Amino acid sequence: MNKKTIRDIDIKNKKVLMRVDFNVPLDKDLNITDDSRIQAALPTIKYILKNNAKLILASHLGRPKGKIVNEMRLTPVAGRLSGLLGREVMKLDDCIGRSVKDRVNDMKEGDVMLLENLRFHKEETDNNEGFAKQLAGLGEIYVNDAFGACHRAHASTAGVAKFLPAAAGFLVEKEIEYFEKILKSNQRPFVLILGGAKVSDKIGVIDNLLDRVDTILIGGGMAYTFYAAKGLKIGNSKLEADKVKVAEDILQKVEKKGIGLVLPVDNLIARKVEQVADVKIVGQEIPDGWMGLDVGPKTTREFKKHLLNARTVLWNGPLGVFEIKKFSRATEEITRFLAGLNITTVIGGGDTAAAITALGLTGKMSHVSTGGGASLEYLEGKTLPGIAALQDK
C-alpha cells in the first residue's frame, strides 16, 4: 500500500481524530446485535492509546439525513466500546461546536471520546469544507479506519484529510492489502461467487475481474436475471428487467474468454418470503406464482466441486434470502465448506459478512471485509475517496 499508515506518523501524546465505522445493527430496544465493526477497530484504538494519545472517535450510524434522530445516537456504541476496552468512553451530544471543542481541550492522555453521529449534520454527507475544518480542529492527526465509509467523499472521510496529517489505520491497511492480493492474484484456479439481489451491483466487479477469474458461480436473486437472459421461466422471482441485456452480454463475454459461469441447476422455491411458507425444489423452470429464494441441493453440490479445486475464492452476496432460516441452507453450507479449505478466501462485506458472522466462522476465512459498498467499488477498480485523501508514503 502506497499510503501512510498510523505507523508512519508520530502520534505520541497527540490528539488523534479517528474516523471509525460504528454503523452497527440495533434491535428495537437499541441493543447492538452485531459488534464486529467495533471489534475490527480495536487494534488501531489500542495502538493509539498505547502511545498515550488523546483519542477522539467519529462515526455515523444509519441515515438520519441531517436531522437528530434519537434512535440513531451513538450512546449504545459508547457503552459497548467501554466494555471492550475496560475504560470509560466519554460520549458527547454533538460532533462540532464550542462545547465539543472545550471537552476535547480538557482531555488527558489516554482518554477516549466518541462524538455524536456525524450524519446529524447534513454538511457531513455534503462534504462541506467548513464542517470538515471544524472536525479537523479537534485533532492534530487524522486516522481513517472506516473502510466501510471510504467510498464516500464525505467531510469526515475526504474533507478532514485536507487539514491534518492523514494516515490509514490497521483495518483500512488490512482491507486494502487483501483486495490488492485478490486483484493481483496468481493463485489459480480463482473462483468468484456472486449472489445477492442485483446484477447491477456486480457488473463492475465482473468486468474488472474477467481477466483474472477461472470460474464464476452465481446464486441469489441475481441468478434469475441471468435465467431471463437465457429465456428460462422465472415465475415471480426477483428480476432486474433493465439488466437482462447486460446479463446476456456477460454470458457472451465469459464464453468468449473460456471462463466457466455456473448458474443454479435447481432452486428452492416458495410463494411467499416467510419462514412458514411451503417450499419445493424445482429445476431451472420456475412456475408462475412461485419465486426462487435459495439455490437447491444439486447446485450446492456443483458449487462445492468447483470450490474444492480453487486456490483463491472471492465471495460477494448470499446465495438465498439467508435472513430467513428456510432459505439460508445454501449460504450456510458453502460457508462451512469454505471454512474447511486451506485456501485464500476473501469475503466482500455487507450481507455475506453478516451471514458468516452469524455462523461464527469469520476466523476461518482469510479476510472478511467490513465494507459492502466499499469492497465492491475497490474490486471494480475504482479509486475510493477516503483512501485517495490519505498522505502518500
Q: Which positions are catalytic? A: 37, 198, 350, 373
d(CA 5, CA 325) in angstroms, rounded, equals 41
Residue the block writes with cell 462524538:
115
In this structure, what C-alpha cell is assigned to residue 118? 456525524
- Burial-class residue 297 by CB neighbours within 10 Å (0-12, 13-18, 19+): middle
Nearest-5° Cα angle at 354, 217 to 383 = 70
- Going from the C-alpha of 190 to that of each of 160, 211, 247, 336, the distances in angstroms are 38, 11, 21, 19
CB atoms within 10 A of CB 189: 16
Which are the contacts of 102, defined by CB distance < 8 A and separation ≥ 6? none
In this structure, what C-alpha cell is assigned to residue 300? 450446492
Residue the block writes with cell 434522530:
69
Segments in 198-296 forming alpha helices (H):
203-209, 223-229, 244-257
Which are the contacts of 375, defined by CB distance < 8 A and separation ≥ 6? 147, 175, 179, 316, 348, 349, 350, 369
In this structure, what C-alpha cell is assigned to residue 38? 467495533
Q: Backbone phi, then psi, for 129, in 5-degree steps? A: -65, -40
In this structure, what C-alpha cell is assigned to residue 198? 442485483
